[in-house]
Amino acid sequence: MIPKISCKDKETISHIDRDKQIAITKAIYDYYKLKINNDTLQFLANDKNPQVQDSLIKKELDKLVEDIDNNFVSDYEKAA
C-alpha cells in the first residue's frame, strides 16, 4: 500500500514529478540495456532465428511505466 500525502508546494510537486520521470527513464534504459545485451549474445552465438517482437517490447515498456507511475514513492514522501 502506497501512502498518499497531500502537498501544495509547487516546487516539491515538481521535484516529485521529476524524480518519478527519472525512475521511469532509468527503468526503460535498464530494460533496453538488458535486451540489447541478450540480442548481442544471441547474434554472437550465431542464432539463426532470433525472435525480436516489437509489440512485446512495447508491452513491456508500457508495463514498466505503469508500474512506476502507480507505485512510485518519492524521497519527499518517504521523509514525510
Q: Cell numbers of 66, please?
A: 505503469
Say if residue 66's pLDDT is above 70: yes
**72 pLDDT band (50/70/90 cuts)?**
confident
- Candidates 2, 68, 4; CA nearest to 31 is 68
Say if residue 1's pLDDT is above 60: no
CB half-sphere exposure, 4, CA atoms < 13 A? 1
Residue-range domain boundaries for the chain = 12-79
Structure letter (DSSP) for residue 73 = -
